Structure 1
Amino acid sequence: MMSGQLIVITGPSGVGKGTLVHKLLERYPNLHLSVSATTRLPRAGEIDGKDYYFVSKEVFGQMIQEEKLLEWAEFAGNCYGTPRIAVEEKLQQNISVLLEIEIEGAKQIKQTFPKAFRIFILPPSFDELDHRLRQRGTETETAILRRLERAKEEIALKEEFDRQIINDDLETALTALIKEIESII
């Protein structure tokens, strides 16, 4: 990794972005994973500053006004965004930065960082996505249905991204992801 590259991993909720990113970071510890800010409450085991920066809606609004976010979006009633300064510092140090973000934010990154490489992770099927969301056991039926409806809209946008990878088999998807990243760093 000789130069800093901004790499965006996105896709519908439940598609396996987090698992792929975790496996990728195991193999490439020099990649820097950006920590997002969010207005949602922490889930069991999540640590402020490691998993997310958990902030109030007021603080998040101030970050937007002061242009301290590269991107932000509201999703499932909560706001999520990427703090600008940490990403810019790493890129200036020639460290590649990985963003695992929602699709709305990934679309915004095209405007704020046109040279960012954006990868869209797809489920093997809509039925499998439904199964994965339910298998988590972390959300209400209403929230799952909302995520599935949004997933239909998001999948329709896949062609707007530089590459698409289907996460049918974890190792196959990881191999494809590594190949794409190695081609740009």
Structure 2
Amino acid sequence: MEELKDRELIFVFTGPDGSGRKTVADSVGQTFGMAKVLSYATRKPRPGEVNGQDYHFITPELYDQLEAGGELIESVMLGSNRYGLRGKDIKLSFEKNGCIYLILNPEGAEKLKQYYGDRVIRLFIYADRPTVEERQRKAGLAEDVIADRLSRYEADMAYQSACEHAFENYDLAHTVFDITNTLENYLQRNLEERD
């Protein structure tokens, strides 16, 4: 397990695809001025996604090089695509910011928890299946992508009980407010430890 300094916390937003975890995470991250650490993905950007803002979109060959070089501390396969995190990116973000946030699927969240232990606070964001499906359709995702995501919905929902906190996301402002209040407790404690 990787050791972190006392003030270094990793807030991981997880839950089923279509739960709104990205929108919620980015809103909360902006509220606190936290740095976002991006995953690397071997797939093409979807409508509205931007390289370097949502993911680092890279070729499978470059992904293989990162993995072979031991640079990825977490790597998962979803469908035919791979997603991973570089330990170096987390380390650099900590040096600049202290607390960081990430948006990961449950498999990635679990691997990060195993790697960093109690410094990882998992925030499970969810909505019911019809809402998730509707959001994905509104986002303009292809039917095969939606079907693939929905096939994992129950398994993703089962991860809720493993997380430190869970938030139902039907109203963005309400969800962000609740999470902000929850994170205040962690961040306040960190400030006291640093005095």
TM-score for both structures, normalised by structure 2: 0.85
Which of 148, 151, 154 matches 1:149? 151
RMSD (Å), alpha carbons: 1.8
The residue that corresponds to 1:136 in the other structure is 139
The residue that corresponds to 1:26 in the other structure is 30
The residue that corresponds to 1:16 in the other structure is 20
Q: 1:45 to 1:165 in 2, by over 3 A?
A: closer
Deviation of residue 112 (structure 1)?
A: 0.8
Q: How many residues align structurally?
A: 181
Q: In the alignment, does 2:99 pair up with 1:96?
A: yes
The residue that corresponds to 1:174 in the other structure is 176
Distance in 1 (CA, whole Å) between partners of 2:79 and 2:177 is 31
The residue that corresponds to 1:69 in the other structure is 72
Distance in 2 (CA, whole Å) between partners of 1:79 and 1:9 is 19
Deviation of residue 46 (structure 1)?
A: 4.1
Distance in 2 (CA, whole Å) between partners of 1:45 and 1:171 is 21
3-state secondary structure, aligned to 1:183? helix
Deviation of residue 74 (structure 1)?
A: 1.4
- Decide which moves more: 166-175 or 44-53: 44-53
The residue that corresponds to 2:55 in the other structure is 52
The residue that corresponds to 1:4 in the other structure is 8
8 Å CA contact 2:18–2:132 kept in 1: the answer is yes
TM-score for both structures, normalised by structure 1: 0.89
Distance in 1 (CA, whole Å) between partners of 2:28 and 2:162 is 23
- Decide which moves more: 142-151 or 85-94: 85-94
Structure with the higher fraction of residues in helix conformation = 2
AA matched with 1:177: I
AA matched with 1:129: V
3-state secondary structure, aligned to 2:117? coil
Query: 5+ residue gaps in structure 2?
Result: 1-5, 188-195
Distance in 2 (CA, whole Å) between partners of 1:97 and 1:39 is 23
